[in-house]
Structure formats: C-alpha cells, structure tokens
Amino acid sequence: MLKGSIVALLTPFENNALNEDVYRKLIHYHLKNGTNGVVPGGTTGESPTLSHDEHKRIIKISVEECNGKIPVIAGTGSNSTSEAVELSKYAEKAGSDALLVVTPYYNKPTQEGLYQHYKKINDNVGIPIVIYNIPSRSVIDMSVETMAKLYELKNIVGVKDATGDLSRVDEQLKKMGKEFIQLTGNDDNALEFNKRGGIGSISVTANIAAKLCSDFQSSCEDGFKDSEKLDKILQPIHAAMFIESNPSPVKYAASLIGLCKPEVRLPLVGVKEETKKQISKALKSAKLL
C-alpha cells in the first residue's frame, strides 16, 4: 500500500552535476526517520532539467538504497507519451515499486488525450501507476470522470492530487471508492485531505522534516491523535517552502540543516535574502534549527 509520508526527493547538485553520494545519504536520512516511500525524479527533484541518464540513475540509486524497505515510486512523466513509456519501462526494469506520472504539460491535451496517454503507459508496464494531477504546473486538470475511466485499467491505482481543491477528495472517493489511493500533493492541506478520505502525502516538506511528517501521517492513521498539534508545527514550514518556486526554498532549508547544498539548475535560481530569513524562522519554530 502506498500511504503515509512519501517524500518528493530532492536531487542534490554540486557544480551542476548530480552528487550521487549525497543522494544516497538523503535516502538513508528518510529510512532512519520513518518516511514511508520515496519519489525520485519528480518536480521537486528538478526532473525538467535532468538528463535522461541522470533521471534513470536516480531511480536506480533509489531502488538500490531503499532495498525493499520502503516503496520507490519513480517519477516517469513527460509531455511526450513515448518518452513517458520509455522511462516507465526502465523504472519497472530497475525495480521500482510504482510510477508517478504527471499529466502532460504544455501540450494541453483533451480529456480523451489524457486517457490515451495514460492508457499507453498502462499497456506497457506491469506495476502500479499513480496519476499526478497538478493544474498549476501542467495547465490541464484531469476530470474525475477521466480518472474513473482510467481506474478501470489494470495498473492505475490512485492520484497525487495537487489541485488544492478539497472537494475533489470527496468526488473521487464517491466515484472510485476507498480502494482508489488518494495522496495529497499539497502539504498545507494534508490534515483535512486525510480527514476526507486521503491516506497520505507526497511531500516537499518531508525533505527537511522527515520525522515530523512521518509522525503526522502516523497520527492521522491512528485516529488523528495529535494530528492537529503536529500540523500546527508544520504549517509555517509548509508556507516557507513555497515563498519562491519549488524546490529552491526546500533546497536552501536542506542546506541549513546539513543535508545538501542549495544549488538548483537554471532556470531556477537560489532564494532571495528575505526568503532565507523566513525559511530560517520557520525551521527554528519547529526546532529543526
């Protein structure tokens, strides 16, 4: 089961090159702190600026280091269906447990185009596929009806919902039922998302607050005991992580606590001085600094 605190893994760079040693250390930080799954090669991992070789490499490293202890949900989406299929087939062969596939950005396909895109990927792999619905980045919004139609396929198992619209949790639950996995892509709404029927988060904040995020998700599963208290601690961090474009803020935060350098690839840039102050304040409020 894909549930709980799943981290959208950062990709650490040094002099614009992938730092494999640090990447391995990041994964072990999550294994030590109760993270329930890792997503290599997602938006937070700067997938748009990774070469195909780098993208495949971080998937392979994730599988090696997790070693079956927690699921690897490989980010394999693309706005080119053939590229998404190729990367998805690689991820399955490399040993990934599941795939996270974003709706095709820039092309602006119709709902039928979305269906055919995911069906093509579904027909070429044999592991679970999680739909990543994020209209703010991809411009398109997959309808609940299209999602329900896709859920009839053998490998489509759930959604990372980054619409920010909590009513979608209710609609998707009503249409697809409890077995359809609903994970939020918005850290700030995780409490209400879970109360409505979600079972976890694919999280940016978990990169720097792995134990807090894990404890929070565990509390939700345990009848929401202490959930509100933990959510209150996490909210300032959630807000700070999106003052500027993700993942620049979370990489700076990671640098403050010694996890990796703050380096991002163009067209992303490092955060402004005022943002640095706000990030530091948020980390201190949660006793992470």
Q: Quick: pLDDT tens for 206-247.
A: 999 999 999 999 999 999 999 999 999 999 999 999 999 999
Give me 238's structure tokens.
């959630």
User: 74 in helix, strand or coil?
Assistant: strand
The SS3 of residue 254 is helix
Of 82, 89, 23, 81, nearest to 50 (Cα)? 23
Q: What is the DSSP string of 58-71?
A: HHHHHHHHHTTSS-
Q: What is the pLDDT of residues 47-59, one digit of tens each?
A: 999 999 999 999 9
User: How many residues are there in the chain?
Assistant: 289
Listed residue (243, 236, 190, 194) closest to 213, CA to CA: 190
Which pLDDT band holds residue 1 (cuts at 50, 70, 90)? confident
Strands, E, within the chain: which ranges? Answer: 4-8, 13-14, 17-18, 37-39, 73-75, 98-102, 129-133, 156-161, 181-184, 200-203
Q: How does DSSP classify residue 185?
A: S
pLDDT, mean over the chain? 98
Q: What are the residue numbers of the active site?
A: 132, 160
pLDDT tens digits, one per residue of 3-58: 999 999 999 999 999 999 999 999 999 999 999 999 999 999 999 999 999 999 99
246 closest CA partner among 159, 166, 161, 186: 186
pLDDT band (50, 70, 90) for residue 196: very high
Are the C-beta atoms of 242 and 249 separated by less than 8 Å?
yes
Question: How far is residue 59's CA from residue 41's CA, in Å, rounded to a whole number?
Answer: 7
Out of 2.40.50.140, 3.20.20.70, 1.20.5.440, 1.10.10.10, select the CATH number for domain 4-226: 3.20.20.70
Cis previous bond, 267, omega within 30: yes
